[in-house]
Amino acid sequence: MASLAQPTINIPLRGFWLLAQNIGVLVRDWRKANGVKQESLAAVLGVSQSAVSHWENGRDIPHRRLVGRLVDIMTATADERFRVDNLAIQQQGAIRASFELDGVKLLTASSGLMAAWPDFSKLMDVKLVERLVGEASQFMHDDAFVRSVRRGEVALISAVSDRHVQLDLDTAFRHKWLAVFRSYGTKIVVDMTYEACDPMVETGILSVIHYDEIIA
């Protein structure tokens, strides 16, 4: 079965309607060629199976952000972009990491993160979603929010926290963090940047920014 990640693809408005009107045929042909069921594609996109069926039958067209996700899924450049972006993170001195949205698995850690949280940085490919606490858990345990991320609607979120997982690892410290959602084909990756802040700053969610707000 074809792998289901996504880059951010910006489609000019003048070309959007032409692409959107034909996207159903493209999706149907791609699915059949790669052995992907409608249900599987719908789960990756955070939509219902009937929505995919309606696109393929020409009864509806997906939102612009979903068209971008679909184009990304059906192209073959995702793996190369993912490797380059991960390499860039690994070489940074800032506290930065990338996580796969599914299961919240640590994929890449910067040299800065390895220095700040040496034990945590060793938990590569471990599902952390059930151990999330604080502000991170408020987002990732919210099914509606996760579906909106899958649909390509959420650009970034930010918050102030002391820790993110309920594990007896490393030393907690108050920090501000920023999470940017990036798609690579069918995989969605959370690009996290952490920065120490005044310990008197209250913990809590700072912002949730959607792509429609940026475009507007």
The pLDDT, as a whole number, for residue 76 is 72
Q: Where in the chain is the domain with CATH 1.10.260.40?
A: 13-75
Distances, alpha carbon 64 to alpha carbons 59, 160, 205, in Å: 16, 32, 28
The pLDDT, as a whole number, for residue 2 is 39
The pLDDT, as a whole number, for residue 23 is 86
The pLDDT, as a whole number, for residue 78 is 83
Cα–Cα distance, 187 to 189 (Å, whole number): 6
CATH architecture designation of domain 79-215: 2-Layer Sandwich (3.30)
The pLDDT, as a whole number, for residue 170 is 73
pLDDT band at residue 213 under the 50/70/90 scheme: confident
pLDDT digits (tens, 9 = 90+) for 111-129: 999 999 999 999 998 999 9
Cα–Cα distance, 131 to 168 (Å, whole number): 11
Mean pLDDT score, 3-19 = 48
Alpha-carbon dihedral angle through residues 68, 214, 145, 37, given to the nearest 10 degrees: 0
From the list 2, 8, 1, 53, the residue with the least C-alpha distance to 151 is: 8
The pLDDT, as a whole number, for residue 162 is 94
The pLDDT, as a whole number, for residue 216 is 53
Q: Where in the chain is the domain with CATH 3.30.450.20?
A: 79-215
**Positions of E strands within the chain:** 95-100, 105-109, 154-161, 175-184, 187-196, 204-210
What letter represents residue 52's amino acid?
A: V
pLDDT band at residue 145 under the 50/70/90 scheme: very high
CATH architecture designation of domain 13-75: Orthogonal Bundle (1.10)
Mean pLDDT score, 79-86 = 90
The pLDDT, as a whole number, for residue 8 is 41
Mean pLDDT of the chain: 88
Cα–Cα distance, 119 to 165 (Å, whole number): 12
Judged against a pLDDT cut of 80, whether residue 21 lies above it is answered with: no
Cα–Cα distance, 22 to 143 (Å, whole number): 30
Global confidence as pTM: 0.78
